[in-house]
Homo-oligomer: A and B are copies of this chain.
Amino acid sequence: MKKSVFYHAGCPVCVSAEHDIVQLIGTENVEIIHLGNDRNKIAEAENAGVKSVPALVTPNGNVLHINFGASMDDVKK
């Protein structure tokens, strides 16, 4: 199976959701990207349809916005 991609920005909501998602779908099935540390991935996330973090982009390209940590505008600050 193609990996899912979990985008986050290090906020407490993100970290909690990351822990849950990794536990549910398995660490080997998900790539974790920290947009605060890896700022050149912000455009990639937006192109994938990510409006806020944390968000999970599934292998078929759907975006699941999980809870609400920060908007993409906040991530860019």
Taking Cβ atoms with an 8 Å cutoff, the residues of A that contact B are 4, 16-17, 20-21, 23-25, 29, 58, 60, 62-68
**What residues on B are CB-neighbors of A25 within 8 Å?**
24-25
Q: Closest residue of chain B to A64, judged by CB?
A: B66
Contact B67 A67 (CB under 8 A): no
Which of B17, B58, B67 contacts A20, CB < 8 Å? Answer: B58
**What residues on B are CB-neighbors of A29 within 8 Å?**
24
Contact B64 A17 (CB under 8 A): yes
What is the CA–CA distance of A44 and B17 in the complex, to the nearest angstrom? 22
**What residues on B are CB-neighbors of A63 within 8 Å?**
67
12 contacts between A and B (CB under 8 A): A4-B24, A16-B62, A20-B60, A20-B62, A21-B64, A23-B58, A24-B24, A24-B25, A25-B25, A63-B67, A65-B66, A66-B66
